[in-house]
Amino acid sequence: MMRPTARLLFKHPRVFTPSRALSTSFQTATNEDVIAHCDQYLAPYYADVIPIAVEKTQGPFITSVEGASYFDLNGGYGACRFGHNPSQVVSAAQAQMDKCSLPSRGYMNPMLGTLGEKLANIYKDVLKPRNGAVNPQIATKVGGGDACDYAIKLALKWGVDKKNIPDGEMFGGHDLFHGRMISCLPPNMGDDAMSKGFAQTGMGFPHKVLSVFNSIEDIEKIFKTHGDKIAGCMGEYVLGEAGVRIANPEYLQRMRELCDETNTLMIADDVQTFASTGNYSPSQHPVFEGYNVKPDVVVIAKALTSGVTPGSVIIADREVQGVMGPGTDGSTFGGNPVMCAASLATLNMIETDKLFDELDVIGGKIRGTMLAAQKKNPSIVDVRGLGAMLAVEFDTATKAKYALASVGVGLSADESEISGLRVDGVRLKATRGNILRVSPTLMSDEEV
């Protein structure tokens, strides 16, 4: 059967003239041309990119400079959870740009207070009460990494002010990922490119003690020997970069108990999980119901602004945020009005359109398909996830690579015409070699 004629959902705003030598006028011809151009001028730390040069995005689709369209199951690593370019968020950001984009934090702006109030009302049910109540305040940053960096600073300052430990340590877990700021890097355990060569020998900087993920015995040993030195305990309820591994409720509950016993801040890194598990925070998911797993600090980013503009927020009770007095931190772009407008539009869209329910349905359908594939394919050793954070684990990296190539080749002619758009394949990315991370955005029943 012949492939249907390509019918794009959108038109290119400019005409591309094929050229092997790309210029600053951004005239492009092929994916290969663009990648070669980028390789010439960009630092080489992104070496394993999907070989597509994306020119347009809309909903669950990406379209390359060559005109081929694909389902994007990478989803901006969760930042585009509600689809690429949601009109409500784009319109809100554009309207704010026309009015005021960056007055700097040397001034206050009304959008920032509005966002703070909105998030305080949401996260009063997420944070652990202090002295019988929760009074959330926010700090704002640009990306997930610098937001986690702020959370670490907050914990260390808490250690100084509340525990009298001038050289406090941070507790974390093997396989956790909090970004690539120096403060967030794990101690170098060998040839890990993320940590090797960045002064992370020994316990790292600041000092960090790591436990085996989901091992209650291990965290009890660590708190027994380090509890009086640990200022903050940072973790993920669902490990994204490590292949969508879910924390055991008993493990998190014991962590909460140990933090309470030692006056240590429990920090939830919800950068990738925000709004991705069918809840604002994964701690609200039914899998943790009945367990005492509420954190003292929550870090959110990515889907908060629907991928329209960078933005991140650190939320904690007034008592906790209070240790960060004047001059202890700051951010030129953090909390700018455009970021606030995009965040507020996203939060409003979640509520009015009941998007958590939709994500649950989408995630459930895709997971069902993956479970059916597992029954037919013995090389699939696990299918897991919460909400729309999903993963398929293969027994070898080679088989995962083969599967990745298979979904990237393309769909059959019968499957390729969806919503008026010729879909040439599906794009997603592997992690840890043998795990395919599936991060769907909102899509219609037909697209699912």
Question: Tens-of-pLDDT digits for all 448 residues of the chain?
Answer: 333 333 333 333 333 333 444 444 445 579 999 999 999 999 998 877 788 899 999 999 999 999 888 888 888 889 999 999 999 999 999 999 999 999 988 889 999 999 999 999 999 999 999 989 999 999 999 999 999 999 999 999 999 999 999 888 888 877 778 887 878 877 666 667 777 777 777 677 778 888 899 999 999 999 999 989 999 999 999 998 888 999 999 999 999 999 999 999 999 999 999 999 999 999 999 999 999 999 999 999 999 999 999 999 999 999 999 999 999 999 999 999 999 999 999 999 999 999 999 999 999 998 998 899 889 888 889 999 999 999 989 888 776 765 665 555 444 444 444 334 444 566 666 777 788 888 888 876 656 5
Model confidence over 387-431: pLDDT tens digits? 999 998 988 877 676 566 555 544 444 444 433 444 456 666 677
Which residues on adjacent β-strands are paired with residue 316? 137, 297
Ramachandran sector of residue 197 (left: φ over 0; alpha: ψ -120 to 50; beta: rest): left
| Phi and psi torsions of 380, nearest 5° | -85, 115
* DSSP-assigned letter for residue 87: H
Eight-state DSSP code of residue 85: S
**Residue 418 to residue 321: CA distance in whole angstroms:** 48
Q: Name the phi and psi angles at 189, rounded to 5.
A: -100, 10
Length of the chain: 448
Helix (H) / strand (E) containing 110: helix 110-123
Bond prior to 378 in cis (omega within 30° of 0): no
Q: Where are the alpha helices (DSSP H) in 164-248?
A: 216-226
CA atoms within 13 A on the CB side of 363: 25
pTM attached to this predicted model: 0.88
Tokens of 381: 């050793």
